[in-house]
Amino acid sequence: MHTLLVILIVVLLLGIANGLVLQHMLYSRLRTEHAKALKILDESSAGIMAFQRYLWKRQYLGLGDGSFTRRADSLRLYWKAGRILTVPPIWHTGGMYSSSSDVNHNTQARGP
């Protein structure tokens, strides 16, 4: 079980790193080919979260760039798949503190 957990953690970390690289590549493409759209995002106080919101709400469709649209849609799909694949293992294990055997059930009354 311990080996499987290590493998799953490594796969999860590699998946996160891959998602960050894909997001950076898409952000770089937006910076080089659609500077006006990036300028609007930079005016927001949300920083990188503004870019993620821009992608999640599919606001990039107004750019008219088919290649960017395909890449952004692929990244959105990657995010969805990551969430779907991450939640069931956490739900199955019940989170970190769900085991009743790990909780100290001290039933003795304490004195003053």
Structure tokens at 89: 């293992």
- Of 93, 58, 60, 64, the C-alpha closest to 77 is 58
Q: Cα(49)–Cα(67) distance, rounded to whole angstroms?
A: 22
* DSSP 8-state class, residue 45: T
Task: Extract the residue ranges of the chain whose pLDDT is less than 50.
Answer: 97, 101-103, 105
Residue type, 103: V
Can you give the pTM of this predicted structure? 0.67
Q: What is the pLDDT of residues 75-94, one digit of tens each?
A: 999 988 888 877 766 665 55
User: Nearest CA to 50 among 62, 61, 38?
Assistant: 38
Counting every residue, how long is the chain? 112
